[in-house]
Chains A and B, each alone.
Chain A
């Protein structure tokens, strides 16, 4: 059974760095073809893809945010991470991690999401 769960700080101030953790089970990021992505959703709005990381440590970033994003993984502990530097109020959103289906770069299992508020 595949599960994912996000964790984060809840609230942080503008200009700080947001650190998110995705803890998953039911698959391994050391397995050929596996990947995890991060997607966010401001309240009442649409979805925005942020970054993907693959089993071979290949990484892809949303070009519009690339300079602020860092994705990484800890294979031994079944975790993936996302850092966003220099946050501002526009980064307030629910952040999801999701497994990338091994038959295509879309997302077949999602976490419940973690809400992050940027406020002074």
Chain B
């Protein structure tokens, strides 16, 4: 299943509400996870099953969506949120999206 993330690059200011998109090539039944990868680090699990927050992740991160369209929202962008964000579907085998790089404006 192909996963398409948009935009590929997003510039935002501290305090902004930020929305990242992930679109699946077919219905993935909410079997979607989001990861954050900071430069030089391994990915970190943020969200699973489309909208469940992983333990220890700040509540400013949230996930939503259904069917083929999913969204990761950061309610108030913090400087430490600068990273690349990947989505992963696990409805059929597993595939990752190409990533959205989030930078500060």
A31 to B44, CA, bound (A): 23
Which residues in chain A, 16-67, are within 8 Å of chain B measured between CB atoms?
39, 46-49, 60, 62-63
Which residues in chain A, 92-106, are within 8 Å of chain B measured between CB atoms?
96, 98, 101, 103-106
Chain B residues lying within 8 Å of A81, measured Cβ to Cβ, are none
A62 to B92, CA, bound (A): 11
**Total CB contacts across the A-B interface at under 8 A:** 54
Q: Are B93 and A110 in contact (CB under 8 A)?
A: no
Q: Are A106 and B43 in contact (CB under 8 A)?
A: no
A62 to B1, CA, bound (A): 12
Chain B residues lying within 8 Å of A112, measured Cβ to Cβ, are 41-42
Q: Are A60 and B93 in contact (CB under 8 A)?
A: yes
Q: Are A49 and B49 in contact (CB under 8 A)?
A: no
Q: How large is the interface on B (under 10, 10 to 19, 20 to 34, 35 or more residues)?
A: 20 to 34
Q: How large is the interface on A (under 10, 10 to 19, 20 to 34, 35 or more residues)?
A: 20 to 34
Q: Is B63 an interface residue (CB 8 A)?
A: no
Q: Is B29 an interface residue (CB 8 A)?
A: no
Q: How many whole Å from A55's CB to the nearest CB in chain B?
A: 18
Q: Which chain B residues have a beta carbon within 8 Å of chain A's beta carbons? A: 31, 33, 35, 41-45, 48-49, 54, 86, 88, 90, 93-99
